[in-house]
Amino acid sequence: MNIKIITFLLFLSSFLNWNTSEAQQVAILKYEGGGDWYANPTAIPNLIQFSNRNISTKIDKNPATVSADNVEIFNYPIVFMTGHGNVIFSENALENMRNYLKSGGFLHISDNYGMDKYIRREMKRLFPDAEFKEIPYNHPIYHQTFDFSKGVPKIHEHDKKRPQGFGLFIDGRLVCFYDYESDLSDGWEDKEIHNDDDETRLKALKMGANILEYVFTN
CATH code of the domain containing 122: 3.40.50.12140
**At 108, which helix (H) or strand (E)?**
strand 106-111
Handedness of CA 22, 214, 169, 166 (dihedral sign): negative
Q: Note the pLDDT of residue 218.
A: 85
Q: Provide the residue type at 38 as one letter.
A: Y
Domain extent, residue 171, equals 3-217
Residue 3: the pLDDT is 45
Instruction: Give the pLDDT of residue 156.
Output: 86
Residues 32, 171: Cα–Cα separation, whole Å = 28
Pairing of strands 78-83, 164-170: unpaired
The confidence score (pLDDT) of residue 22 equals 59
What are residue 80's phi and psi, to 5 degrees?
-105, 140
**CB within 8 A of 90, min separation 6: which ones?**
32, 68, 69
Q: Residue range 127-141: average pLDDT?
A: 97
Please say if the pLDDT value at position 199 is more than 90.
yes
Lowest mean pLDDT among 15-24, 94-103, 156-165, 207-216: 15-24
The percent of residues above 90 in pLDDT, for the chain, comes to 84
Q: Phi-psi bin for 54: left (phi > 0), alpha (psi -120 to 50), beta?
A: alpha
- Of 92, 116, 87, the C-alpha closest to 7 is 92
pLDDT for res 16: 43
Look at the chain and report how many structural domains it folds into: 1
What are the pLDDT digits (tens) for 37-59?
Answer: 999 999 999 999 999 999 999 99
Residue 163 β-bridge partners? none
Cα distance between residue 181 and residue 27, in whole Å? 23
133 forms beta bridges with: 167
Cα 93 to Cα 89, 115, 174: the distances in Å are 5, 18, 20
pLDDT for residue 85 is more than 60: yes
Strands 173-180 and 106-111: parallel
What mean pLDDT is predicted for residues 59-68?
97
Q: How many residues does the chain have?
A: 218
